[in-house]
Structure 1
């Protein structure tokens, strides 16, 4: 009996000691800095796999429930892989983008508002580094979270590619469809079949006529480009057998001539507006070959491969990027030739390529959808969305109907995207870029600082 009492007493003492330790730990935990209790990246990623917007409890004052719901519905309705996280100002920033992208495991555009700071990163298959940089810059300085996130979302959805991950809709269950409803729908479809067939034929004829008109308009512009390139070849006055000519020079000249002939041949065979992209791509290749040849003849270093001058591709390859703000649009960086760089630096207007439109002569980015294939051939490789943010052509090319009318893939507008795909940790961090140019830290290598360099 005494042994039992002793054992019971010992057990009671151990319980009392354990309670005391737990109480002490609770006090210490309550007094610890809040940063140690920050929501884990894994938790944020798990939420983003289910919906496009995550608002941390400690940052809930930045965005009301109604505002968050509206933003979430907008992104889901657009069917784009845009992920937004709203986090408190003290959240750890080191490698935040890389860690979040790895944990979420979905190709997309990731934007984070941390306190009053904002930055974004994207897989290049969804949005180019230049486009991300321009989009983030366009909303910097907007202190109100709702305004900044709404503006960024509006512009990003209009320019990014890809589709939303299936997990966003997999958790929702729809109501069953009754047999009566299916039968009724079938009857309606059969009854309307003849009328629908007639309407389709009429729309096809109208669409074909619009395509012919667009191609005719493009022929004028492309013929001007081909003629200008031919004149450049003549002015060059290079002869393969001239004194000082070597094999690299002759190779450059041959590539330029081939590009000239290819452009003429492709344009003669063009049957649709989207066929023009191959023509302007050939001209861009030819102009770069001429730039190389010119540098070799002058004994200068070979030029870097850069896109043509944004204001007029006939100016040749760009030599630098310059800040430019279109009327009523957001400031962005565009590739420019030496002459236009000087004009902008002096406060003068660049020499802009104007083309015919329904409203008279207009800059090509304000002249209508037919010029998308033309611009896409010059500015491919993902650069075009960032250049055309906020312009009429940029908005048109980002519309879902554009690909069916003028083809897809013009500078990564509307085609070739893999956004929304599950990649897990298998992605190139160097390909996951944004405003700061880095893949992991906020601000792109600013010591882990968010928004470094602003």
Structure 2
């Protein structure tokens, strides 16, 4: 018979309970948090499985994952890998994530991402172009909010399209060989003719450009000569002498560069020298007149021959968007009064047109005048919507419309789908959690 008293038994049992609680706390209470999903985690999972559901997405959805994996495993031609992500992931996040995951996995032709609520889907593919991807996504039960239904339908549609592409490619290959044999001589001749015409057009545009630049150079020389300055005059203001000599040197540099110019890109050096020479000529004139030396600002946008601008004004080309441009005093007042500024007209074909709408040959011309005042950021803003702007920025003034995913390209192909725009984005290789 135990001699242990009741109080001692109670204390002993309490101690045992505390010890058990401590053990449970050690096992679970202080367990390290699960690692957040990132590119490495997702890529590692997709090396052994065609479907991965991120941790955050798993808390927002529930579906038969095995059924989806079976549907994906059946599609050999499209070779699909799928990722289910949380609902608030943005398009800016999905594009780089899919590209990076595909690169790390090193296999699979088509990668698709879908939100946990099944409403948004985007994909990249080596087999399907962006148009075909968009069509496949559009046919994969959009609006159903059913992840399983959408992924299964996507897999079936993508496989059919990939098989059709493979058949077309095979048939097209045989046909192409025969056609190429028949038309090789014709194509070669067409290339010769097209090449000759292209060279003729380029030569004409270069001649027009050179004529326009020579006008700028000549005008600067005339303006400098009009100062009629005797640099040997001992009473001449040293600062005026320095600015005058700088203007002359820049003029000589521009003239020499024009004579050597063989292609439009060479004109950037010319107009950079013209901008420098015109500013120092203007500064010389101000010093001789006893006036304040003008601020070194970007040349007048409407006509760089007018010299440094004095203020920025809001202006838009016909049918274009309003932007802020630097203007000389005369043009600034004209714009503010609702009148037309004095735009620099350059040779083009049988006539003249504004330099910013005279074709791609004038892009280096504009660059030389404005590069030192903000580079491409300034130039793209000034020339948005003009011919020069389209050459410099690949279509400045345009943009992605809602649902347009064709801008996501990379080693994995085009990305398609109507993923929403969002403010989130990733920098470097850190893609955060999905």
TM-score computed with the length of structure 2 as normaliser: 0.50
Q: Aligned pair in 2 of structure 1 residues 46, 252: CA closer, same or farther (>3 Å)?
A: same
| Matched residue, 1:391 | 386
Please give the alpha-carbon distance, in whole angstroms, between the structure 1 residues aligned to 2:238 and 2:327.
30
Please give the alpha-carbon distance, in whole angstroms, between the structure 1 residues aligned to 2:243 and 2:19.
96
**Which runs of structure 2 are paired with 1:74-89 in the superposition (5 Å)?**
none
**Counterpart among 97, 112, 136 of residue 50 in structure 1:** 97
Q: Aligned pair in 2 of structure 1 residues 247, 192: CA closer, same or farther (>3 Å)?
A: farther
Runs of 5+ consecutive residues of structure 2 not aligned to the other structure:
1-8, 30-85, 100-114, 124-129, 132-161, 396-425, 430-434
| Matched residue, 2:347 | 356
Q: Does 1:251 align with 2:298?
A: no
| Matched residue, 1:342 | 333
Please give the alpha-carbon distance, in whole angstroms, between the structure 1 residues aligned to 2:243 and 2:254.
17
Please give the alpha-carbon distance, in whole angstroms, between the structure 2 residues aligned to 1:395 and 1:306.
25
**Which runs of structure 2 are paired with 1:288-303 in the superposition (5 Å)?**
288-303=279-294
| Matched residue, 2:369 | 378
Please give the alpha-carbon distance, in whole angstroms, between the structure 1 residues aligned to 2:247 and 2:182.
59
Q: Decide whether the 8 Å contact of 2:209 with 2:347 is kept in 1.
A: no
Secondary structure at the residue paired with 1:355?
strand
Please give the alpha-carbon distance, in whole angstroms, between the structure 2 residues aligned to 1:368 and 1:240.
41
Q: Aligned pair in 2 of structure 1 residues 390, 195: CA closer, same or farther (>3 Å)?
A: same
Please give the alpha-carbon distance, in whole angstroms, between the structure 1 residues aligned to 2:98 and 2:252.
52
Q: Decide whether the 8 Å contact of 1:358 with 1:367 is kept in 2.
A: no
Highest CA radius of gyration, 1 or 2?
2
Q: Aligned pair in 2 of structure 1 residues 369, 45: CA closer, same or farther (>3 Å)?
A: closer
Please give the alpha-carbon distance, in whole angstroms, between the structure 1 residues aligned to 2:265 and 2:180.
34
Q: Aligned pair in 2 of structure 1 residues 303, 195: CA closer, same or farther (>3 Å)?
A: same
Please give the alpha-carbon distance, in whole angstroms, between the structure 1 residues aligned to 2:275 and 2:339.
26
| Matched residue, 1:366 | 357
**C-alpha displacement at 1:198, in angstroms?**
5.2
Please give the alpha-carbon distance, in whole angstroms, between the structure 1 residues aligned to 2:18 and 2:308.
89
**C-alpha displacement at 1:279, in angstroms?**
1.6
**C-alpha displacement at 1:297, in angstroms?**
2.9
| Matched residue, 2:312 | 321
**C-alpha displacement at 1:245, in angstroms?**
1.7
**C-alpha displacement at 1:47, in angstroms?**
5.4
Please give the alpha-carbon distance, in whole angstroms, between the structure 2 residues aligned to 1:240 and 1:218.
34
RMSD after superposition: 5.0
Q: Does 1 or 2 have the higher relative contact order (CA < 8 Å, sep 6+)?
A: 1
**Counterpart among 200, 206, 214 of residue 215 in structure 1:** 206
**C-alpha displacement at 1:304, in angstroms?**
2.7
Q: How many residues align structurally?
A: 274
Deviations 1:87-137 (A, max 9, x none): xxxxxxxxxxxxxxxxxxxxxxxxxxxxxxxxxxxxxxxxxxxxxxxxxxx
Q: Aligned pair in 2 of structure 1 residues 283, 51: CA closer, same or farther (>3 Å)?
A: farther
| Matched residue, 1:268 | 259
**Counterpart among 232, 235, 253 of residue 241 in structure 1:** 232
**C-alpha displacement at 1:399, in angstroms?**
3.9
| Matched residue, 1:286 | 277
Runs of 5+ consecutive residues of structure 1 not aligned to the other structure:
20-38, 70-75, 78-174, 401-421, 426-454
Q: Decide whether the 8 Å contact of 2:286 with 2:292 is kept in 1.
A: yes
Q: Aligned pair in 2 of structure 1 residues 377, 5: CA closer, same or farther (>3 Å)?
A: closer
Q: Aligned pair in 2 of structure 1 residues 187, 281: CA closer, same or farther (>3 Å)?
A: farther
Please give the alpha-carbon distance, in whole angstroms, between the structure 1 residues aligned to 2:350 and 2:321.
23
Q: Aligned pair in 2 of structure 1 residues 209, 8: CA closer, same or farther (>3 Å)?
A: same
Please give the alpha-carbon distance, in whole angstroms, between the structure 1 residues aligned to 2:212 and 2:364.
12
Secondary structure at the residue paired with 1:284?
helix
